[in-house]
Each structure stands twice: as structure tokens, then as C-alpha cells.
Amino acid sequence: MLTGEIQIRVRYAETDRMGLLHHANYLVYFEQARTELLRARGRTYKDMEDQGFFLVVAKLEVKYKLPAHYDDVLTIRTTVTKDSPVRLEHKYEVLRDGALLAEGFSTLACVGRDGKLRQMPGWLSGTE
């Protein structure tokens, strides 16, 4: 399985009045982690989109276990758990000092400029 990690420091603007990372920002972190996982493979979303391939979120789930706070340094671990010709599934783990704060799961579908399902390029699905 393809796995990558990034670190993110929780910024003040990303927190609520209690100083906790707002739940919606976990989704932003997941997207950032997916983008960096792709970049680690030598590609970018821009490369893919310039070629007419777009990944859209078809399903997303987050399980919150412990809160993250302002100024925490988090590790986001992203793993591709399954791929098919038109879909990618990811698992995300949000960690602080090794403690699991949240985990997420997403399914992305590949579509063309017309919004219809399209087979992913081989370099993305692992067939190249």
C-alpha cells in the first residue's frame, strides 16, 4: 500500500472558541495530505487536471477520538487502501505525539471535464 505522512501545525484561525481544531478543518488536512502523497509520486493535481482527469470526493467519513488544539503539531498519515480503474480509497490517521486523534476514509472517483466517470491514468491507478 502507498503511504505518506505530512506534518501540520494547527493555526489559530482553524480553531473554535475553545481553542480546538474545528471539525471541518480535518477535511482540509486530508486533502492536503492526499495532494502531498501524489506529489511524492512525482505528480501533481495540476498535471492530472491539465490532462483532463479530475478526482471528486464520492464518500467521506471521519471518526473523531481526541481533540487537537491550537499550536499542536499533527502528523497526517495517508494510505491508499484500494484502487480500481475509476476509484481510489484512502485512509487517514491524524496523530499527535503518536496518539490517534482522528481517522478518516474517503472514496474519490475519476471524472473527465464533462463530469462523467473516466478511467484513471495508469500512473495513478498503479497499472503503469
- d(CA 16, CA 3) in angstroms, rounded, equals 30
Q: What is the pLDDT of residue 46?
A: 93
pTM: 0.92
Catalytic residue flag (residue 16): yes
- d(CA 110, CA 84) in angstroms, rounded, equals 10
Beta bridge partners of 112: none
Beta bridge partners of 9: 73
Per-residue burial over 81-103, b if 16 or more Cβ lie within 10 Å, else e, is eebeeebbbbbbbbbbeeeebbb
Mean pLDDT, consecutive 10-residue stretches, the chain (128 aa), reads: 94 96 97 95 92 96 98 97 95 98 98 96 70
- d(CA 126, CA 3) in angstroms, rounded, equals 14
Q: C-alpha angle with apex 13: 8 to 14, nearest 5 degrees? A: 50
Q: What is the pLDDT of residues 91-113, one digit of tens each?
A: 999 999 999 999 999 999 999 99
Question: Does CATH number 3.10.129.10 belong to domain 3-125?
Answer: yes
Kindly list the domain boundaries of the chain, sorted by start residue.
3-125
- d(CA 56, CA 124) in angstroms, rounded, equals 14
